[in-house]
Structure formats: structure tokens, C-alpha cells
Amino acid sequence: MKHGLLAFALVMSAACGGDDDFGDGVRADARPLSDGGGGGGGDDGGVTPDAGGGDVTPLVWAWGDFATNNRTQLAAFAPDSALPVTPLAVFPAGDTGQIWSQSGSADYGPFDISGSRVAFSADIDMATRYDLYVASVDGGEPVHVVAVGDAADIEKVRFSPDGSKIAFIADLELDGQLDAYVIASDAALGTPVRVSPAHASASTDLDASQLAWSTDSQKIVVTGDFSQNDYQEMWIADATAAEPTPAPVVDRDRIMSTGVGGKGAIQPLLVSGASILFKSRLDADDLFKLTVIGTDGENEATLANSTITRTDDSIADIGAATLSGDRSQIAFGADETETIFDLWVMPADGSMSPTKLTDGLANADTGPPPGQQLKWSADGQKIAFLADYRDEGRYEPYVVPVAGGGQTHLANVGDSPADNKDADAICWTPAGDALFMVADLEIGNDSDLFRLDPATADQTPGLAIGAPPDGDLGGVRSSH
């Protein structure tokens, strides 16, 4: 099968559902069906699941030590709340317990939302032991789904698209070595099944990294450096099996890159039918690319038309990459001029060449950072992102229309790079009428939550949640 047809089959078989983004600490309930993604719903790319969940009130979710310094909690509030906002529900409630906060982000970290339920890792039952819980988004007593050992912690959490299962990453078997597991989302103190492969050694440098649910909720893709540190393999398992047997899709031998840092299967974007779309760094040229491959590891190819030639005739690297909510388009950063990452968009089936959306970036050094996802509006007409287009190293919020016209700079974050201030995360409200941004706008290294008008340039953001002294907002996302 030619690579264009493979990509077409991959996308068309899943042309429904949420929006795909990953990686920064904010998300408007869409998941990178692999930016790593899974389950239920919203602004970073995913699907809106929870079978039988009924109508769900749109909510924005913020997490961090916004109420008490050094106690990380999760709060839900209405998108149109008067500023400053008052949470409708907080998890964990009460005076003790907190959300896992030592790694990951709100986009792809210790909690996930599926319809009317939220799943999260917290130390409610035992201090410093982070178990898995599920609760109604309206609040109330959480169900204790998985209890881990005294030395273990659950870190990343992902609902399946239909809301029936939860995948998570934890060090259940060897303290400090992360593996991937699946459990029914309605379990109570259940026993999860492992879906990641055996490690080459007992080294705690070898870990499962990302989770990606198939669109039918039957399979789970897991990435990780299971054989050699920084060499990210990709494996797939049947999540419905009583004893899943993971199979390699990209094994260690396929990874020819020797570049510094992560290489291999960098970011799964979509798992649909018999195909996987992912961001890769596989070859000896050390380039980051968009790649399609069969779930059996066959028919690997670069996504048709996704290769961009630089102005010096070399090949551009792919930076951040995110699917639109209906999965018909993919937005990505690419450095047509080396190290200057503009934003591009193209059909996700590879049927047309990409269109460059951003302009006037000759003085930029990096643009949208590769680890921070691009945020599609719910109608697929606009993309919000963070970039250092005005001052190198200082990330600020932008919106660009997919139809063209160039980016709008929404707000200053600090007056100069010397201020050491940045926007850390951004997400759309479900209706697409506002944006929420995490930034240390007022005091350097103290991140608060702000609301932005996506149609107004160079505005003064409205303070939505102010953290206490030395506290920080870790991220924000929305569900609908």
C-alpha cells in the first residue's frame, strides 16, 4: 500500500471525535490520541466518550497549588465564570491529599476526563502513596480504583475513548521503573493488567513513556525506552484481553538515529484500524518526521506531502504536531528556515501539501516549542499556541486562523527576556469564545491562571485564579 493511501485509510476510518493535542499542561479536552492520547474528550485531540454519560456541563479544569502552597489540587469551574473564578468542585476535597505533581502535565499527566467522570492519581488514602481514583465531575466521594504498593505511584492517566477503561503508567513492579497498565474504569480496588513489554534490565532509566488508545478502545499503544535509554520503542497490546501480550511496532533495531535526547517513536498521534500515525525520529539523518505504520509494524512510510524543504535545500524538522478535532487536518511546526519553527497545516490523509500559517518570524529562534501542543478551536477554524516570536526564549500566546492571515499576538508576558516570565500553557474554552493561559505574568516563577479574548491583540489578560505566594498553576484544560 502506498504511503498516501495508508494515511488516508488511517484518518478516514476515524473521522470523528475530539481534538488532538498533547504535552503542555493545558488542554481543552481533546487528546492526542497519543500526543499520546486516549480517552475522553476535548481541546488537545481525542474523542468525547463516556458511553451513557448523558449531557455534561462544559467545564474548565485547572490544577496546581492554587489554594495551598505545595498542595496540588484539581479544580473545575464554568468557562464563563466571573473573574476571579470560584471552583464548582475540587479534587481531592477537604484538608488532606493531593494530585500527583512530580511529572507530566495537565495535557498528559495525572488526570483525565471522560464525560461526567474524572480519573486522577492522588494520595487520599495514604500520604505520599498515589493511587488511582474516579469521581463524578460534580464532586462527591471518589471511587478507589487501584491501590498501589507503598513504594509505587501512578503517574499518567488516560481514559479509553468509550470511557470503559483507564490506562495508566506506574512503577508497580519495580520502584522507579515505569510500566503501562489497563483497568476497567468502574473497578473498585481492582487488579490492573500490564500492557507494556518486559524491560531489557532492571535499570530505572528504562520506562514506559506515552499511552495511545485506538479509536475503538480495543487496543493500547505504549511507547518507552524498554531496551536502551532514550531509544523510544512502540508496542501495541489488546486492552480487552485477560492477559495482554504486547507486540512490537517499532523495536530497538529499527531506531537508527543516534542524536542527542529522545529518538524513535516520539509521539503517537492516532491509532485507528490497522494504522498508526506518529511523530518519529527513526533514521540516521536524525530528523523528526510524521510517519505512518501498520499496527503489525509493516508498511512504514513518511506521511505523504509532509516533507518540507528548507531554504538551504535541506529537510526541515517537525516540531509540535496536533490533529484537528475531526482528525481531518494536522497542524505542525516545521523549520523551513533552520531553527525557526513556523506553523503549518495540511490534510491528515496526506492528500495535499501543507500551507504555512505564520509569518514575519525572521527574528524568532524557535517558535512553538516541540513539547507544547498546538490547540485547535472546537470548530477547527483557529489554532492557539505559545511561541517566542518577539523575544527569544520568552513564550507568549498567539492565535492564527487556519484559513490564513497570519498570527495575532494576544498578550505580553513580561517586558523583556530579562524578566524571566513565560506563558506555560494555553487552552480554548469548549465554545471557542475564550482562552485560558497559565503564566507567571505578575511575579516571575509564580504561575497564575488568566483569561484571554482570542480576537484581541496585545490585551491585558484577566486574572482567573491567583496562586498563593510561591504557589503555581500547573495547567488548565476544558471538558464538554
- Which residues are within 8 A (CB) of 257 and not within 5 positions of it... i.e. 6 or more apart? 263, 264, 281, 282, 283, 284, 285, 286
Give tens-digit pLDDT for 404-437: 889 999 999 987 767 788 899 999 999 999 999 9
Give tens-digit pLDDT for 10-48: 443 333 333 333 233 332 333 333 223 333 333 333 333
pLDDT at 444: 77
pLDDT at 48: 33
pLDDT at 97: 94
3-state SS of the chain: helix, strand, coil percent to 5?
A: 5, 45, 55
DSSP character for 402?
A: T
Alpha-carbon distance 24 to 318, whole Å?
17
pLDDT-derived band at 53, boundaries 50, 70, 90: very low
Q: Which domain holds residue 317?
A: 3-479
Measuring CA to CA, how many Å separate 194 from each of 238, 255, 389? 11, 24, 43
Cell numbers placing 350: 496526506
Give tens-digit pLDDT for 250-277: 999 999 999 999 999 999 999 999 999 9
pLDDT higher than 80, residue 218: yes
Residue 309, number of CB atoms within 10 A of its CB: 10
Are the CB atoms for 192 and 180 separated by under 8 Å? no
pLDDT-derived band at 471, boundaries 50, 70, 90: confident
The total of structural domains in the chain comes to: 1
CATH code: domain of residue 450: 2.140.10.30
How far does Cα 315 stand from its chain's mean position? 26
Kindly report the backbone phi and psi dihedral angles of residue 251, in degrees, each rounded to the nearest multiple of 5, phi listed first.
-95, 175
pLDDT at 137: 93
Measuring CA to CA, how many Å separate 360 from each of 51, 340, 411? 46, 11, 17
Residue appearing with cell numbers 481543552: 28
Mean pLDDT of 111-115: 93
Kindly report the backbone phi and psi dihedral angles of residue 203, in degrees, each rounded to the nearest multiple of 5, phi listed first.
-60, 135
R_g of the chain computed on alpha carbons: 21
Beta bridge partners of 465: 449
pLDDT at 480: 63
pLDDT at 184: 98
Label the pairing between strands 231-238 and 263-272.
parallel
Beta bridge partners of 39: none
Q: What is the DSSP string of 239-293?
A: TTSSS---EEEE-GGG-----SS-EEEEEEEEEETTEEEEEEE-STT---EEEEE
pLDDT higher than 60, residue 171: yes
Alpha-carbon distance 237 to 216, whole Å?
13
Give tens-digit pLDDT for 73-99: 999 999 999 999 999 999 999 999 999
pLDDT higher than 50, residue 5: no
User: Does an H or E element contain 425, and which?
Assistant: strand 423-428
pLDDT higher than 80, residue 159: yes
pLDDT higher than 80, residue 439: yes
First to last CA, the chain: 38
Label the pairing between strands 26-27 and 473-479.
parallel
Residue 160, number of CB atoms within 10 A of its CB: 28
Burial degree of 404 (CB within 10 A; 0-12, 13-18, 19+): exposed
The amino acid at 47: V
Strand order in the sheet with 329-337: 318-323, 329-337, 340-347, 355-356
Alpha-carbon distance 163 to 448, whole Å?
31
pLDDT-derived band at 107, boundaries 50, 70, 90: low
Classify 212 as helix, strand or coil.
Answer: strand
Q: For 119, what's the count of Cα atoms within 13 Å in the CB-facing half-sphere? A: 34
Give tens-digit pLDDT for 312-329: 999 999 999 999 999 999
Cell numbers placing 61: 479544569
Q: What is the mean pLDDT of the chain?
A: 85
pLDDT-derived band at 364, boundaries 50, 70, 90: low
Q: Give the CA dihedral 105, 109, 110, 115, nearest 10 degrees.
A: 110
